[in-house]
Amino acid sequence: MKKSVAGLFAAVATLAFAGTAQAQICAGFPSSDRGFYFGVRADFPEDVDSYGVEANYNFSGPLGVYGGLNVISAEDGEEGEDNSLDELYAGVAFEAVSLGLMVGPRVSACAVGEVRNISEDGLNYTEIPLGVGIGASLGIPLVEAAGYVQPQVVFTRASFEDEDETDTNFGIKAGATLGLGLVTVGGEVRHMFLSDDALSIRDETTFGIRVGIAL
């Protein structure tokens, strides 16, 4: 009898741990195992507007992929016209289940790599953030709430005509998601630790909101 109870407890614990890992919140997305996430987002850099779409697919196993498009626009004070740039990005997350379980039963951990690119009028600007994501269920009753944080090293390259420049900075991305059935809402903050001569077109701190559907 004792062996049966112990076996049942072990099975339940294993399923709970696997379910937590499958969500892969460490990558910043609430998609379950073999699940999709589709959403829209708005970010608020200083003096510009940024609106975009994003999508994520969590494969069966440790691998997840994501990508999206942001349209960044600023109003021209002289002519009143909108000048916009398109930012394309794609990323991959590889989850280390054992590492997450070392931290706690509701924790997931993954390596995250991303490429972001803006190309316009001869200017090509690329960022490659590489980091480690830690995500966890927040344990709020009746809703699926989770938070995540990703310390990053950000490699930057900008080229214009025949000139190329490269730079390396540190950054951090953190956020939380709240699931209400199929609909998920969330908030996110990105911070770059920039020196005075850093090569970056971004503000040091940017806040954003996200709304999507997890299937």
**Hey, CA dihedral for 93, 31, 97, 136, is it positive or negative?**
positive
| Residue range(s) defining the domain that contains residue 200 | 2-214
What is the model's pLDDT at position 76? 59
What does DSSP say about strands 35-43 and 205-214: parallel, antiparallel, or unpaired? Answer: antiparallel
What is the model's pLDDT at position 106? 75
Number of domains within the chain: 1
What is the model's pLDDT at position 203? 77
Per-residue tens of pLDDT for the chain, all 215 residues: 444 434 433 333 333 333 444 468 999 998 888 899 999 999 998 878 899 999 999 998 899 999 999 999 876 555 556 578 899 999 999 998 776 666 666 788 999 999 999 998 888 999 999 999 999 988 888 888 999 999 999 999 999 877 889 999 999 999 999 998 899 999 999 999 988 777 777 778 999 999 999 98
β-bridge partners, 115 = 90
The CATH number linked to 135 is 2.40.160
Supply the pTM of this predicted model. Answer: 0.81
Computed over every residue of the chain, the mean pLDDT equals 83
Backbone angles phi, psi at 189, to 5 degrees: -130, 135
For the record, the structure tokens of 58 come out as 């969590």
Number of CB atoms found within 10 A of residue 105's CB: 12
What is the model's pLDDT at position 178? 94
* Distance between CA atoms of residues 56 and 35, nearest Å: 8
Q: Is 73 exposed, middle or buried (0-12, 13-18, 19+ CB in 10 A)?
A: middle
